[in-house]
Amino acid sequence: MQLKNAVVLITGANRGIGLAFAREALARGARKVYAAARDPATVRLEGVEAIRLDVTDADQVARAAAHCGDVTLLINNAGIAAPGGFLADPTLESARRQFETNFFGPLRMAQAFAPVLARNGGGAILNVLSIASWLNRPLLGVYGSTKSAAWALTNGLRHELRAQGTLVTGLHMGFVDTDLTRGIDMPKSTPESVVRQALDAVEAGQEEVLADDVTRQVKASLASAQSAYLAAA
């Protein structure tokens, strides 16, 4: 699909990667961009329609699907992270909160918007995943698990939605230079670079995006005897 004249809905669009998606969609000629956030007042980008949407709230998701019945591209970007390992201080409640946003959120959105996309010719879903889908480390414990689950969700949705002509693309990347990674001393991609690659892939009909060298190396290692996810930290 092409972004020109598309109608795009982006979750978590008030900052970071979500805001970069909104800007790039407008730059590519999208007819309408719904910029979704828990507090729409935090969306300050001109040219978009800000909507209230908490992906953990089933009623808000249903209302969004009813209001945004012209969507042709759904970008599931909203996510949260609470650093810590499985045996560290974060409680089961913290783990549930992360799964509610990072896994059940995209699942709710896909269930609500699959009929919308079907009515509008198929369209596409872009799920923002992570290198943590494959590489779990002590500081990424539960977060990595949510992204592994979201990767499996992405692959399953791809099969279920193929018959209605909906492209399902997974975006994997390492650290991105946003407020969420401030203070982390690691190489980082810019949000703009990640977003350009992701939307190029959607326009080309590609199903997976590996947005940086580290992510490509980790993916390539999965079938090797020294797979990255088995290596010592």
Q: What SS3 string covers 164-193?
A: HCCEEEEEECCCECCHHHCCCCCCCECHHH
In one-letter notation, the amino acid at residue 199 is: L
- DSSP tag of 42: G
Active site residue 147: yes
N residues, the chain: 233
The number of beta carbons lying within 10 Å of the beta carbon of residue 8 is 30
**Which burial class, exposed, middle or buried, applies to 141 when counting CB atoms under 10 A from its CB (0-12, 13-18, 19+)?**
buried
Catalytic residue among 4, 32, 34, 147: 147
Structure tokens of 70? Answer: 């012209």
Catalytic residue among 4, 143, 219, 229: 143
Q: H-helix or E-strand containing 202?
A: helix 191-204
Q: Where are the beta strands (DSSP E) in the chain?
A: 7-10, 32-37, 49-52, 73-76, 124-128, 167-172, 208-210
Active site residue 229: no
**Residues with catalytic annotation?**
143, 147
